[in-house]
Amino acid sequence: MKYYYDFHIHTALSPCGDEDMTPNNIVNMALLKELDMIAITDHNSCENVEAVMKVAQDSNLLVIPGMEIETSEEVHMVCLFPSLEAAKEMQEIVYNSLPPLKNRRDIFGRQLIVNEFEEVIGENDRLLLTATSLSVYDVVKYVASFKGATYPAHIDRNSYSIISNLGWIPEDLSINTIEISKNADFDKYMSEYCSLNIIISSDAHYLPDISEREYSIELSEKSIAKVIEALN
pLDDT bucket at 17, cuts 50 / 70 / 90: confident
Strand order in 62-70's β-sheet?
Answer: 149-152, 76-80, 62-70, 37-40, 2-9, 216-218
**Nearest C-alpha neighbor of 78 from the set 196, 179, 207:** 179
The Cα 105–Cα 123 span in angstroms is: 10
Three-class DSSP labels, 9-70: ECCCCCCCCCCCCCHHHHHHHHHHCCCCEEEECCECCCCCHHHHHHHHCCCCCEEEEEEEEE
Q: How far apart are CA 189 and CA 183, in angstroms?
A: 12
Give the mean model confidence (pLDDT) for residues 100-125. Answer: 95
Position 75 scores a pLDDT of 98
Rg of the chain over Cα atoms, rounded to whole angstroms, equals 16
pLDDT at 76 (0 to 100): 98
63-96: pLDDT as tens digits:
999 999 999 999 999 999 999 999 999 999 999 9
Q: What is the reported pLDDT for 16?
A: 86
pTM of the entire structure? 0.97
Q: What is the pLDDT of residues 91-104, one digit of tens each?
A: 999 999 999 999 99
Reduce the DSSP state of residue 180 to 3 states and report it.
strand
Residue 114 pLDDT? 97
The tally of domains found in the chain comes to 1
The pLDDT assigned to 228 comes to 98
**Mean pLDDT confidence for 12-26:** 95
- To the nearest whole number, what is the mean pLDDT of the chain? 97
Task: Tell me the angle at which helices 49-56 and 23-32 cross, rounded to the nearest 10 degrees.
Answer: 50
1-36 burial, b if ≥16 CB within 10 A, otherwise e? eebbbbbbbbbbbbbebbeebbbebbbbbbeebebb
Instruction: Residue 212: give the domain boundaries.
Output: 2-231
User: Quick one: residue 82, left, alpha or beta (phi over 0 = left, psi -120 to 50 = alpha)?
Assistant: alpha
Which one, of 10, 172, 145, lies nearest residue 76 by Cα?
Answer: 10
Would you list the DSSP string of 106-159?
HHH---EEE-TTS-EEEE--B--SS--S--HHHHHHHHHHTT-EEEES-TTSSS
- For the stretch 131-189, pLDDT in tens is 999 999 999 999 999 999 999 999 999 999 999 999 999 999 999 999 999 999 999 99
What CATH number did the domain enclosing 67 receive? 3.20.20.140
